[in-house]
Structure 1
Amino acid sequence: MAAATPPPEEAPSASSTAIISPLPTFKPDLFQRAWTSVPHPILPLLATTHAKSVTVFSLATFSKHSALTGGHSRSVRTATWQPGMTPPRLVTGSFDATAGLWSWSGGNATSEKLEREVTLSSTEGGDGDEKEEEEDDWTFNLVLEGHESEVKGVAFSPTGQYLATCSRDKTVWIWEDVGIADGEGEDEWETVAVLSEHDGDVKAVAWCPDVPGRNSRSGGGRSYSSDVLASASYDNTVRIWREDSDGEWVCVAVLEGHDGTVWGLEWETKPREGDKFPRLLTYSADATIRIWTLRDEADDEEEGGPKGGGDGANYAGFGGIPNTMRRSLREDWDCTAVLPQAHTRDIYSVAWSTATGLVASTGSDGIIALYGENAPTAAATSEEAPLEASAKAAAKGWQLLATVSNGHGPYEINHVTWCKRYDLGTERKGEEEMLVTTGDDGIVRPWQVRIP
């Protein structure tokens, strides 16, 4: 269900076409391994997981805003903000095999207290009462239990109604926020599905994003619903899951091509001119980053008709075939690009910018790399071009723009994310983007990115 992949491009010369420069680090330093940093989709807040807690930083001051403590018995590995919730809610995944739901209880979500600028002096000393008050600003509402081992990834669907969790126990669980479904807003969750087809630890999960108007077939639009989940595993594969007509969650595609653990994946969040949205980006211990594209009717017609059955089964992602006529929900995905080689060891994290389309990566070699995609060539967009030529042209569209070595000194970098800037160093607050990296040294480091 996954096509052969093009070879990676050779990296360009040392001369950079972009500049990545460090900004002042977030304070205080955590002084222990930090796993991931997740920006709130609207508020100027950044949640960083480490040890048994989460530190929430202010993006306005690069300093501690509040803390989430006392909910887990082992290290918090991952976190995700629930979309559209007021006051804010955060789900954490822990090595204690549980996921926890937290909600802001310190006042109105738009209050000055929530967005207050916590000074460095107050976070590195202050009196004990103030510190305790800050940590009490978050309430631990609910524990989601079921996994038999560490929870490695958590992700909300675009509406916030569904939560996916994945674990070292080789399973993916899908949970439903019944309170949202009933319109009551209460903390009641139910298990929707347990997916257990992976042969190794499941490292990450990600839902296909919701883009208004993308289901239209006019103007070459592609129909692909937001209730689609992707999972990455130690078994070197990525699986695509969707709900069938009977309400059962099934695996519709297995993406094979990586030669090592697939550490994670990212969906393209915004359609761009000439691309086949939605594309899926995956990264691995084999030090490669691959981009996958769902094959549609036009692709198969060029190759002489549908693959694997001839009944249109692999068109399940599109609106042209009634459910009653589909014998299978199988889909075909092609690896249409392998990004230029920049890393020498495992790639732990990759972030795909919604605003610019730039891709940033980092990993165990301490390198931070930045990639850009050129406008597709005629061969990549022509309906008459064979699939192989399309893949080759698409791959050539990516270039390595810049790299930073030893971004956290000798320490591994566990995570990178794009984040909007609200600090005094930008004139375009809430618009300009920066990179934020999180490492084994316990430092959360922001980076300015400039394209000359």
Structure 2
Amino acid sequence: MEAAAHITPLAALKPDLYQRAWASVPHPTLPLLATTHANQVTVFSLTTLSKHSVLAGGHTRSVRAVTWQPAQPATRLRLVTGSFDASAGLWTWDAESAGLEREVTTAGAGVEEDDDDKDWEFNLVLEGHEHEVKGVAFNPSGQYLATCSRDKSVWIWEDVGGAGGEDDEWETVAVLSEHDGDVKAVAWCPDVAGRSSKARYSADVLASASYDNTVRIWREDVDGEWICVAVLEGHDGTVWGLQWEPSTTKGDNKFPRLMTWSADATVRIWTLREEEDEEDQGEDVSGGSRLFRSGLGGIPNTMRRSMREEWECTAVLPRVHTRAVYSATWSADTGLVASAGSDGLIVVYAEDGDGDADVKMASPSPQPETAAAAIESSAENGAEERRGAWRVLGKVDNAHGPYEVNHITWCKRFDAGAERKGEEEMLVTTGDDGVIRPWQVRISS
């Protein structure tokens, strides 16, 4: 019998936001979750499952995106928000006097309403976009920030004050304007173990997803100019988001891969095709610029051939969603993928060979009767749900009742109910109902 995922709801984070919430982003190491809604961000403690603090007063319109800056000192938190007021905001939580770890793990239900934003300082506004900022992302070192907008552009900013430094000074490095539609999301390639297997592939590579139905890959050339090195075409609707494969621990040497999801109700996996003609590539390095093949439509003809990358769609995950997929998440621990969207579904997928892996999740157990009506495992649908190298492990209907699910993410558990705090994973979904809902995932065979 094949492995199946049993997905059961845990108690929702408190308090409910009582308004549409857009995304919830976990801190990379600390038990914190930042949720965007209205013109502010609520930070939840994953230890107490309740409100930790609020970032308010920095933006005049809806905050749609948030990202934590990596490589911070132990006494400081810093994040960036992207707003429909056409700006990005830099916020800092300075906890030197009290100790950050204690504040993170003990803050929650006892926070007074009048004081819950006192420790967040709105340091800097990054301006330049003409319209709404829809996505923000830091590169692995925290030195570069990418923002994207309805104005069809991607901006790259550099922290010239130094990540974690005392000076908040940022400079514009590049403005990328080759998309033909709103740019919905940006993502930097992670710095993961195993990257050296393809040494020419740098961690400072950026991908962007657009309403023009495409994804573009951007890299810095030898002259310090950021250029588009690939256009990924295949989706039949807006590409709502993207994520790089976060880990290469399975030893399959498929890195780098990129996952995208779209209004066409599909989730796709893209793989970099290795250059076969090394001699030809070497000639280009010494011989200067060449035109690109017409099959990579939209790439500037001034780009050096030596920088060109060819990507191919190597998998379309089994089609379960009936409407737009708004969000998907790829686990670095297990390799499992989960998606959610306009149809209210949560779907969990496994790549062939991964379903029986030793995953750091809740131990297998019988499915609770109270959640049985909401869960359908892949066993009910049989082999017809198989597509390519991926299969459906389980799904949840109406995850937020009649409301759309705007975001889904894998997240470490730190609460009292966790079997292995800081190791065990759960899913967290964010919906139009303003509820931030954790889900326990149990894998059984």
Task: Report the TM range for the smaller structure's normalisation.
Answer: 0.7 to 0.9
Which residue in the other structure is 1:112 paired with? 102
Q: Which runs of 5+ in 1 are unaligned?
A: 1-12, 124-129, 314-320, 377-393
The answer to whether the 8 Å contact 2:45/2:51 transfers is: yes
Instruction: Measure the CA separation in 1 of the matches of 2:345 and 2:82.
Output: 26
- Structure 1 segments of 4 or more deviating over 4 A? 106-109, 321-326
Aligned residue in 2 for 1:245:
222
Per-residue CA distance 1:259-281 (angstroms, 9 max, x = gap): 00000000001113224101000
Of residues 161, 164, 169 in structure 1, which corresponds to 2:143? 161
Contact 1:78 / 1:92 at 8 angstroms: preserved in 2? yes
SS at match of 1:449: strand
Alignment partner, residue 361 of structure 2: none
| Structure 2 match to 1:215 | 196
1:37 to 24, 38, 43: 24
What TM-score does the superposition give when structure 1 sets the normalisation length?
A: 0.83
Q: Distance in 2 between matches of 1:81 and 1:29?
A: 22
Equivalent in 125, 128, 141 of residue 146 of structure 1: 128
What value does the CA root-mean-square deviation take over the aligned residues? 2.1
Does the aligned pair in 2 maintain the 1:222–1:277 contact within 8 Å? Answer: no
Name the CA shift for 1:428/1:149 in 2 (closer, same or farther; >3 Å).
Answer: same
CA change 1:359–1:326 in 2 (3 A) is: farther
Contact 2:31 2:104 in 1 (8 A): no
Q: Cα gap change, 1:59/1:323 in structure 2, threshold over 3 Å: closer, same or farther?
A: farther
TM-score w.r.t. the length of structure 2 is 0.84
Residue pairs, 1:190-201, within 5 angstroms:
190-201=171-182
Counterparts in 2 of 1:44-443, with a 5 A limit?
44-86=31-73, 87-107=76-96, 108=98, 110-119=100-109, 122=110, 130-180=112-162, 184-212=165-193, 214-216=195-197, 221=198, 223-271=200-248, 272-297=250-275, 300=276, 305=277, 311-312=280-281, 323-324=285-286, 327=289, 328=304, 329-375=307-353, 396-443=388-435
Give the Cα–Cα distance (whole angstroms) in 2 for the partners of residues 338 and 326 of structure 1.
37
Query: Does 2:10 correspond to 1:23?
Result: yes
Shift of 1:154: 0.1
CA distance in 1, matches of 2:422, 2:124: 32
Amino acid at match of 1:178: V
Q: CA deviation at 1:131?
A: 2.3
Separation (CA, whole Å) in 1 of partners of 2:66 and 2:55? 11
Residue deviations 1:222-269 (CA, integer Å, cap 9, x gap): 541111000000000000000000000000000000000000000001
**Residue of structure 2 in register with 1:318 after alignment:** none
Match of 1:381? Answer: none
Aligned mates of 2:316, 2:174 — CA distance in 1 = 33
Q: Distance in 2 between matches of 1:432 and 1:147?
A: 39
Aligned residues: 393
Aligned CA distance change for structure 1 residues 158 and 324 (closer, same or farther; 3 Å): farther
- CA apart distance, 1:140: 0.3
- Partner amino acid for 2:83? S
Residue identity (%): 67
Task: Sort the Cα spacing of 1:212 and 1:275 in 2 relative to 1 into closer, same or farther, 3 A.
Answer: closer
Q: SS of the residue aligned with 1:215?
A: helix
Contact 2:7–2:440 (CA under 8 A) maintained in structure 1: yes
Over 3 Å counting, the alpha-carbon distance change for 1:184 and 1:324 in structure 2 is farther
Cα offset, 1:117, TM superposition = 4.0
Task: Give the match for residue 3 of structure 1.
Answer: none
How far the C-alpha of 1:342 sits from its partner, in A, is 1.1
In the TM superposition, residue 214 of structure 1 has moved relative to its aligned partner by 2.1
Structure 1 pair 323–59 and aligned structure 2 pair: CA distance change class (3 A): farther
| Aligned AA (2:401) | G
1:7 maps to none
Gaps of 5+ in 2: 290-303, 355-385
Contact 2:325/2:341, CA 8 A, preserved across alignment: yes
Displacement after TM superposition at 1:215 (Å): 2.2
- What letter corresponds to residue 332 of structure 2 in structure 1? T
Deviation for aligned residue 1:103: 0.4
